[in-house]
Amino acid sequence: MDIGHIKSFLGDAWTAVENNIDRALKSDIALLDSINRAVLSHPGKQIRPLLALLAAKACSGDGKVTEDSCRFAAASELLHNATLLHDDVADESDRRRGVPTLNSLMGSSASVLVGDYWLVAAMNMVLESDDSGHRVTRIFSKTLSDLAKGEMLQLQKASSGDTVEEDYYRIIYYKTASLFESAMHSAAISVSASEDIEEAVKKFASGLGSAFQIRDDIFDYSKDAMVGKPLGVDILEQKITLPLLEAMENAGERMSKDIRDMVRHIHEHPEYRDEIVSFVHDYDGMERATVKLDRFVNEAVSSLSVLRPSEAKDMLVDIAYYMAKRKN
């Protein structure tokens, strides 16, 4: 996937998104402004606003986007980065996107406060819309609730060690897919898409977001992934994700019970990590998880059948298949 090519295709609409983000974050407090500039200098893939604008173009009758399309796309990126700033505190992360986190440089208070500022900036961006801001505010508010529920459910399951597949899918919907969904659903609303197209875009976004997270969880066991972190980090945080669930399903109940006991006690015995990683490889956890990842991607792509042919639609399909094969 060539992100530069997609941005070039989006043209002035992408420039408007970047300008909206810059405008939303400007502050007359020098420290806050400099921190915001520093965060913006390492933007990551910016996949959510890219998907939002492509969705707007694919859903509109003439391939054009609106000012609201650019506002809502910017809001999705602002909200995403707000959650990352908060996550760095919860996870005590030292690095993100290859650079030290604000949490490591200035402490948890600064990271939380700046994250709050980005969150408010996101909601203010949505409220600038005269036509559909209130409806989209409810959509983004639901995502904020989902994010909190996802973190709490994940904490609960880390403590109990009894995560099953249904729990896992709830967690990844709340923590990842929900924001994909709000970004693309709001984009469809911004171009007055019909109800059936709105629903199709929501299904695509939810499936794509789930696939994105499953791929990340597979990386935690993959020696070939280019993610710049050691294997088994999720296990050290007592997170039972799809590759481990699939390996346990393949291994049978007796071995699964032993593995769950190891996960519960991994804080006292961090050496269990290597054994659990080997278990996932020995019982084909990654391969079995990849089969389910592909299913999410294929179902997501199928949901776009109601959209008329367009270059934007083709790019959405390409991104979906890229999600299944990406290395970082």
Task: Among 1.20.810.10, 1.10.10.10, 3.40.50.11540, 1.10.600.10, name the CATH number for the domain at 3-325.
Answer: 1.10.600.10
Nearest to 55, CA basis, from 196, 204, 210? 204
**pLDDT computed for residue 225 by the predictor:** 55
What's the pLDDT at 95?
Answer: 85
Contact 213, 175 (CB under 8 A): yes
Q: Tokens 């792509």, residue? A: 301
Within 13 Å, how many C-alpha atoms sit on residue 262's CB side? 20
Contact (Cβ atoms closer than 8 angstroms) between residue 58 and residue 312: yes
Residues 328, 226: contact at Cβ < 8 Å? yes
Would you list the domain boundaries of the chain? 3-325
Q: Is 230 helix (H, G, I), strand (E, B) or coil?
A: coil
CA gap 313, 57 in Å, rounded: 8
Per-residue pLDDT of the chain (328 residues; tens, 9 = 90+): 788 999 999 999 999 999 999 999 999 999 999 999 999 999 888 999 999 999 999 999 888 999 999 999 999 999 999 999 998 888 788 888 778 899 888 989 999 999 999 999 999 999 999 777 789 999 999 999 999 999 999 999 998 999 999 999 999 999 999 999 999 999 999 999 999 999 999 999 999 999 999 999 999 998 765 555 678 889 999 999 999 999 999 999 999 999 999 999 999 999 999 999 999 999 999 999 999 999 999 999 999 999 999 999 999 999 999 988 887 7
The answer to whether 285 and 221 are in contact (CB under 8 A) is yes
Instruction: Write down the pTM of the prediction.
Output: 0.93
H or E element at residue 142: helix 133-160
